[in-house]
Amino acid sequence: MFSVRPARLAAPLTAGSEVPSLADLGLGWLEAEVTRWQLVRTQSWFFEVAAIFAAGRDRWGEVGLLFGSTAEGVLMAATSEVEITLLREHINQNAGTGGSPGAWLGLRFFAESQGQMTLSAGQRFANMLARSLMADPSYPWPVLGAPALKKPALAQAFPPFSDERQHWLTMWDLPDLLTIAKRSPHQSLRSMAESLSDLRASKSWKDLEDQRGKDFHRAREESPVVSRGERRSAWVGDTLNVGPPADADLARAQEDVGGIAATSRAALEELGRHMAPFRENFLRSMSDVSGGTIGYEDDRLKITPS
């Protein structure tokens, strides 16, 4: 078999079958936290009223919108687990008839997509942290004689809603953000930075970054559901050693494609565990930066002018 052309990537549904919920898949807690992030976004229009008492214009409002976009990305990553589960069930049901090569390709697609959406959400964490720091008019709390930042653009607050590439960060910019956060007088902002640092240092996140490196920047080998070439030299010394391509190996698909799915799921859960403390510390930061004028209780923003 040299090619698999699935008619569709989603799992086929048989009569009477039910689509599992995120709660069924052990992700109900993540869905609940995503909802809390979306609630922050729904109130972001009111952040601008709050900013009158403390932050610059559009600072907190922009962060609120990023709460919504990040929540949507995490929700799509989590919902990919539904398709992964249904495809895995389909594969298992057809194991006695030679398996289902097309289903393996669909499973890989959703597993890789889940990983990409999870990584994308992680990058937005970095941008939300930067903009939360910049909400304080005293940013970046310069220290005389301190080493220059690796990213010069961080030396001053970004314009709100900028689309300039230099104003959008990745996890690679985290060391600069940690340096700036440590200068901040606000524990809430330092805690946001520490949470993001812990996420990036986790094994599951490193595994996902490594998987993306293989798939996005390097070879991304074909799935073992087709007869394919192998990434090895055809020469042994001065002797040409050419043989037929490796046979399709559905057993190896479980290891390779199943491994990608496990890596993406683990990183998604790791990200999810950091969402609540990140959100809570952002809300505390509004109170800290405003000197207590702004509070957040019972999922509602409260303003107490001094």
- 277 vs 249, which has greater pLDDT? 277
Q: Does residue 204 lie within any of the structural domains? A: yes
Cα-based distances in Å from 252 to 101, 152, 247, 249, 255: 12, 47, 11, 5, 5
Q: What's the CA dihedral at 292, 297, 302, 304 to 10 degrees?
A: -40
| pLDDT band of 304, cuts 50, 70, 90 | confident
Q: Does residue 54 contact residue 291 with C-beta atoms inside 8 Å?
A: yes
pLDDT at residue 46 in the model: 78
> What average pLDDT does the segment 268-276 reach?
98
- What pTM did the predictor assign? 0.91
Q: Does residue 9 lie within any of the structural domains? A: no
> What average pLDDT does the segment 69-92 reach?
94
Q: Does residue 237 lie within any of the structural domains? A: no
Cα-based distances in Å from 118 to 48, 152, 209: 29, 27, 10
Residues 6+ apart with CB under 8 A from 27: 78, 81, 269, 272
Q: Does residue 18 lie within any of the structural domains? A: no
For residue range 141-150, what is the model confidence (pLDDT) as tens digits? Answer: 999 888 999 9
Q: Does residue 184 lie within any of the structural domains? A: yes
Q: What is the DSSP letter of 246?
A: B
Rounded to whole angstroms, how far apart are CA atoms 194 and 278? 9
pLDDT at residue 93 in the model: 86
**Per-residue DSSP letters for 151-209?**
SGGGGSPPPTT---GGG---GGGHHHHHHHHHHSS-HHHHHHHHHHHHHHHSHHHHHHH
Geometric angle at alpha carbon 85, from 263 and 258, rounded to 5°: 35
For residue range 92-132, what is the model confidence (pLDDT) as tens digits? Answer: 888 777 667 888 899 999 999 999 999 999 999 999 999 99
| pLDDT band of 216, cuts 50, 70, 90 | confident
pLDDT at residue 2 in the model: 54
Position 224 pLDDT exceeds 70? yes
| pLDDT band of 48, cuts 50, 70, 90 | confident
Q: Does residue 281 contact residue 30 with C-beta atoms inside 8 Å?
A: no
Q: Does residue 125 contact residue 281 with C-beta atoms inside 8 Å?
A: no
pLDDT at residue 254 in the model: 82
Q: Does residue 13 lie within any of the structural domains? A: no
**Per-residue DSSP letters for 86-150?**
HHHHHHHHTGGGT--HHHHHHHHHHHHHHHHHHHHHHHHHHHHHHHHHHTSTTTT---TTPPPPS
Number of domains in the chain: 1
Q: What is the residue range of 101's domain?
A: 28-228+254-303
Task: Return the amino acid letter for 254.
Answer: Q
Q: Does residue 139 lie within any of the structural domains? A: yes
Rounded to whole angstroms, how far apart are CA atoms 215 and 130? 29
Q: Does residue 184 contact residue 285 with C-beta atoms inside 8 Å?
A: no
Rounded to whole angstroms, how far apart are CA atoms 222 and 208? 19
pLDDT at residue 16 in the model: 75
- 128 vs 54, which has greater pLDDT? 128
Rounded to whole angstroms, how far apart are CA atoms 252 and 246? 12
| pLDDT band of 238, cuts 50, 70, 90 | confident
